[in-house]
């Protein structure tokens, strides 16, 4: 499924430029993706669209990308979220939040979509794809440093 999502991200720069599900399904099939992978990805994208609609409908405002952090609130992850996401993914989400690039509303969508991913656990690379797709859906391009963090393989980096 994640290969399909990466293909969609790379070929349709903005979420609103993405074709309707039936047309997208045909294009994905023409590119050689398996029908099961396509169906999983389309269902996942449908969930992303629904989550995005709920956020936009309830906000009545444009999404703020770097709101002031609230000192009166704290996100506590459920046992199921901890089990599926693991320490690396939860740490990465915390890093994005503390960097000011993942507001609480988007964090919740990221967690929701990560929990909707197939399998018992989500690896860090898959979570990064989820984050990219959430940004993509809202038409937001992360700044260069965050994009580098999302797309670059940390194992290939050389420490200075």
Please determine, for residue 82, whether its predicted confidence score (pLDDT) is greater than 70: yes
Q: How confident is the model at residue 160 (pLDDT cuts 50, 70, 90)?
A: very low
Determine the Cα–Cα distance for residues 43 and 20; give it in Å rounded to an integer.
Answer: 13
Is the four-CA dihedral 49, 150, 144, 24 of positive or negative sign?
negative
Is the four-CA dihedral 10, 12, 16, 22 of positive or negative sign?
negative
Determine the Cα–Cα distance for residues 141 and 14; give it in Å rounded to an integer.
Answer: 9
Q: How confident is the model at residue 68 (pLDDT cuts 50, 70, 90)?
A: low
Please determine, for residue 69, whether its predicted confidence score (pLDDT) is greater than 60: no
Q: What is the mean pLDDT of residues 93-106?
A: 90
Query: What is the value of pTM for the model shown?
Result: 0.82
pLDDT score at 3: 94
CA nearest to 85, candidates 120, 126, 121, 134: 121
- Angle at alpha carbon of residue 89, lines to 137 and 155, rounded to 5°: 100
Neighbouring C-beta atoms of residue 4, cutoff 10 Å: 21
Q: Which residue has the higher pLDDT, 54 or 26?
A: 26
The DSSP annotation for 22-82 comes to HHHHHHHHHTT--HHHHHHHHHHHHHHHHHHHHHHHHH-SPPPSSPPPPTT------HHHH
Q: How confident is the model at residue 70 (pLDDT cuts 50, 70, 90)?
A: low
Q: How confident is the model at residue 159 (pLDDT cuts 50, 70, 90)?
A: very low
Q: Which residue has the higher pLDDT, 139 or 30?
A: 30
Q: How is residue 9 written in tokens?
A: 């991200």
Please determine, for residue 79, whether its predicted confidence score (pLDDT) is greater than 90: yes
């Amino acid at each position: 499924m994640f290969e399909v999502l990466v293909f969609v991200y790379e070929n349709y720069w903005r979420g609103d430029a993405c074709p309707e599900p039936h047309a997208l399904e045909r294009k994905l099939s023409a590119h050689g993706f398996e029908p099961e992978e396509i169906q999983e990805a389309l269902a996942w994208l449908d969930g992303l669209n629904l989550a995005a609609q709920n956020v936009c409908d309830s906000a009545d405002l444009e999404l703020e990308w770097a709101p002031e952090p609230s000192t009166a609130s704290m996100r506590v992850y459920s046992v199921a979220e901890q089990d599926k996401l693991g320490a690396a993914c939860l740490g990465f989400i915390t890093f994005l939040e503390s960097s000011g690039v993942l507001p609480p509303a988007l964090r919740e969508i990221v967690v929701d979509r990560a929990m909707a991913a197939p399998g018992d656990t989500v690896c860090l690379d898959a979570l990064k794809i989820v984050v990219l797709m959430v940004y993509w859906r809202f038409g937001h391009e992360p700044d260069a440093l965050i994009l580098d963090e999302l797309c670059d393989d940390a194992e290939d980096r050389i420490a200075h």
